[in-house]
Structure 1
Amino acid sequence: MKWDPAKYTQFSSHRDRPFFDLVARIGAEDPGWVADLGCGTGVLTATLAERWPEASVTGLDSSPDMVRQARALAGGPEGPSFTLGSIRDWETPSGPGVLVSNAALQWVPGHEELLEHWAKKLDPGSWLAVQVPGNFGGLSHVLMRELAQSPRWATALAGVLRGEDSVSEPEQYLELLIGAGLSADVWETSYQQLLTGENPVLDWVRGTALRPVMAALAAEDYAAFEAEYGQLLRRAYPAKSWGTIFPFRRIFMVARKG
C-alpha cells in the first residue's frame, strides 16, 4: 500500500494533536532510547529527540516515501535515525527506554499480541505509549465498507477493508497491559474536528482510510468509487457556512514497567 506524505500531512493540525496528548502523559526523564513505530514523515519523531536529547531516537515506517522524507528532515547525524521496516519485526532495545506508536497499530492485525510481547520484553523503567483511532464504527468507515460490499465493488474489494475489530476497546487494552505487568493509564477522546473545503471528510480519508481501496483498484475504477463515496460523505457530513464537523474518536494508552 503506497502512502502520500503530502496528503497525509494535509490535516496535520488535527492529526498531530493526539500525538501530543499521548506523549504528554509519558513520565520518562532520562531514557537511553526512544523508538517511534509508524513514524511517518518524522516530523513528530523530531519532537521526541528535542524532549530527550541524550537518548538514541529512532523512527520506523513501512513506507519508503515516508522514510525518504523523514531522512531528508532528520537534520544530519545528530538527529533521529529512520529505518524502513515492519512494526512486527521491531525488537526492544536493552535498558530503560520509551516506545511510542501513534496511529499505526490499527494497520497491524493482531497487534494486541505485539503489545503483550513488547510489554514483557521491555526492561524495568521503560515506558510504552500508543494511540489508535477508535472510529472504525464511525459513519465515514461504515459508509466506505457498505459501498465496498455493494454489487458493483464486492468482488474487487473483497477482504480489502477491515471492520471494527481493527482495534480493541479501552478496557481490553487496560486489562492486557496490567496483565503483562505494567502500570497503565488508558483513556479515549472524541475530537469534534472542524474541517473546511468542498468535501473535507473525503479529503481526510484520502490520506488514510481510503489508501487500501486506492491500492486495490485501477485508477479509473478508483475514481468511480471515490466519486460515489464522496456523494455519500456530503450527505452524511453536511457543510455549514463555517465548516464541517467530523467527530473522531481516539484510544490512548500509556504504561510504565516498574
Structure 2
Amino acid sequence: MTEPTWDPAQYLRHAGHRARPFTDLLARVPGLPGDPPRIADLGCGPGNVTALLADRWPTAHITGYDNSPAMLDQAQAQAHAGPTPGGGRLDFAPADATAWTPAEPYDLIVSNAALQWVPGHLDAFPAWLAGLAPGGTFAFQVPHNLDAPLHALMRELAATPRWKDRLGHVLRAGDSVHAPGVYLDRLARLGCATDVWETTYHHVLTGEDPVLDWVKGTGLRPALTALADDPGAREAFVAEYRDLLRTAYPSSPYGTVLPFRRLFAVARKEA
C-alpha cells in the first residue's frame, strides 16, 4: 500500500457524514476514571471530530495525533487547538500510529477511521492498553466495506493491464480491517470488557459524481498519490473509475445513495 498524501479540504467536503460514526462510537464509551481525564485521538485528521471530545468531556486534556502535516496544519488553522470552553485543553502533535506508544497514562485512547491505514494494528493493542489508566477505555471505528463496489471496482481497475504496473500494489489490502470476531477475541483476551458491532449507513450524497468526490478524500488517496507525477494518467484513471461508479451508484431525484458499513469496538480495561 502506498502511503497516501492527504488533502484536508477534500476530506472535509463530507465532514457531516464522516463525523456521525464518531458520535455513535462516543455514545457507547463509559465514564472515564480520570478527573480531569486525559484523552488521545489516534489519526485525528483535520481535528474537526477531535473537538467533539471536548463536548463529551469538557475538562479533559485532549491530544490529537496524526502523521500528516497537512492535516495537523488544518487542525491548527481551524482554531481547534487551545483551551476548551469547559476548562480543558485541546492540542495536536505529530505521531505515526504504526510506532506510537503512550508516554503517559490515558483514560481514553480513541481512533476514528484511521486504523485501516495502520498495518499490523492488532499487534499494537497490548501496548496501547498498557498505556490506559485502570478503568480506561480504548475505542475505535473503521470502515468495513472493502467488498463494496466503491473499493472492489477500484481494485479491479487498478489490476487491468493499463494500470497494474503502477497501481497493482498501492491500494489497501484485503486484510487492512479484520472481521468483528477477530477484534472481539483479541481485546477480550487482553483482559478488556469488550463491545464490538457493525452499522451500515446509507448516506444520501448530492452534487456531481458525489461517490467519486467522497472517495477522493479517503480510499482513492493512494492511487492519486502514486499518479501525482503524471497528471494525464491520473485524470485518465479517475475518469475510468468515475464511469464505473456512475453505474454502481446510480443517481436519483433526491441524490445518490452510498451504503457504507463501519465496524466499532469499545474495550474497557479492568479497574
Q: Are 1:187 and 2:197 an aligned pair?
A: yes
2:12 to 9, 13, 23: 9
Q: Are 1:198 and 2:208 an aligned pair?
A: yes
Q: Are 1:167 and 2:173 an aligned pair?
A: no
Q: Give 1:6 deviation, angstroms.
A: 1.1
Give the AA of the match of 1:9.
L
Q: After superposition, where does 1:81-120 map in structure 2 within 5 Å? A: 81-120=91-130
Distance in 1, Cα, partners of 2:129 & 2:79: 29
Q: 1:219 to 1:142 in 2, by over 3 A?
A: same
1:40 to 40, 45, 48: 45
Distance in 2, Cα, partners of 1:153 & 1:75: 40
Q: Are 1:232 and 2:237 an aligned pair?
A: no
C-alpha contact (below 8 Å) 1:33/1:93 kept by paired residues: no
Distance in 2, Cα, partners of 1:201 & 1:75: 28
- Corresponding residue for 1:223? 235
Give the AA of the match of 1:91.
T
Distance in 1, Cα, partners of 2:103 & 2:31: 16
C-alpha contact (below 8 Å) 1:42/1:74 kept by paired residues: no
Q: 1:222 to 1:185 in 2, by over 3 A?
A: same
Could you tell which deviates more after superposition, 192-201 or 111-120? 111-120
Distance in 1, Cα, partners of 2:206 & 2:30: 36
C-alpha contact (below 8 Å) 1:119/1:181 kept by paired residues: no
Report the structure, 1 or 2, having the larger strand content: 2
Give the AA of the match of 2:69.
P
Give the AA of the match of 1:61.
D
Moved over 6 A (4+): none
Distance in 1, Cα, partners of 2:78 & 2:114: 20
TM-score (norm 1): 0.95
Give the AA of the match of 2:76.
R
Could you tell which deviates more after superposition, 69-78 or 184-193? 69-78
C-alpha contact (below 8 Å) 1:30/1:54 kept by paired residues: no
1:65 to 67, 70, 77: 70
C-alpha contact (below 8 Å) 1:45/1:59 kept by paired residues: yes
Distance in 2, Cα, partners of 1:158 & 1:142: 13
Gaps of 5+ in 1: none
Distance in 1, Cα, partners of 2:104 & 2:71: 27
RMSD: 1.5
Task: Provide Cα deviations, 1:154-180, integer angstroms capped at 9, x if missing partner.
Answer: 001131012321100111100010011
Q: 1:148 to 1:75 in 2, by over 3 A?
A: closer
SS at match of 1:128: strand
SS at match of 2:133: coil
Could you tell which deviates more after superposition, 215-224 or 76-85? 76-85
Task: Provide Cα deviations, 1:89-134, integer angstroms capped at 9, x if missing partner.
Answer: 3222444510000000000111111123322442311111100000
Q: Give 1:77 deviation, angstroms.
A: 3.6
Gaps of 5+ in 2: 84-88
- Corresponding residue for 1:49? 54
Q: Are 1:241 and 2:253 an aligned pair?
A: yes
Task: Provide Cα deviations, 1:19-46, integer angstroms capped at 9, x if missing partner.
Answer: 0000111112453310011111111111
SS at match of 1:156: helix
1:19 to 22, 40, 50: 22
Distance in 1, Cα, partners of 2:24 & 2:31: 15
